[in-house]
Amino acid sequence: MVNPARKVNIVKKRTKSFVRVQSDRFKRVGASWRCPRGIDSRTRRRFKGTRPHPKIGYGSNKNTRFLLPDGFRKFTVHNVKDLESLVMLNRTYAAEIAQNIGAKKRVELVERAKQLSIKVVNPDARVRAVEN
């Protein structure tokens, strides 16, 4: 098993999602964030006591952005050539097999990754437990 080059504590400034204005009042208004645009909107004018807006200050630390909880970054892999490009970076990046790759090619990629000691994020996807 490959370990990350360095394990850093990931600190999220906010984990709750931002909720759309009046999504709690009407069923037809979904909860996913939309920027308020009304001319009299209290939320758009950022009055005290209204919902928080997403803004740049909520961004993650540059060092830990896109890090997985185990300390790796993801790199999408479509073929063996992509996988072999990670050889020098196998302690920084983990391979994620693309979703449109079939089961036969997946097995090849997982075996090759094991030979190159590259971590695969989704090795079990689409692969049956018992093969005939």
83 phi and psi angles, rounded to 5 deg: -65, -40
Tokens standing for 12?
Answer: 């999220």
Parallel/antiparallel/unpaired status of strands 73-77 and 93-97: parallel
- Structure-derived torsion over alpha carbons of residues 88, 101, 99, 117, reported in degrees to the nearest 10: -30
pTM value > 0.85 = no
- Residue 6 — pLDDT band, cuts 50, 70, 90? confident
Residue by residue, what is the 3-state secondary structure of 38-94? CCCCCCCCCCCCCCCCCCHHHCCCCCCCCECCCCCEEEEECCHHHHHCCCCCCCCEE
- Residue 2 — pLDDT band, cuts 50, 70, 90? confident
- pLDDT at residue 47, as a whole number: 97
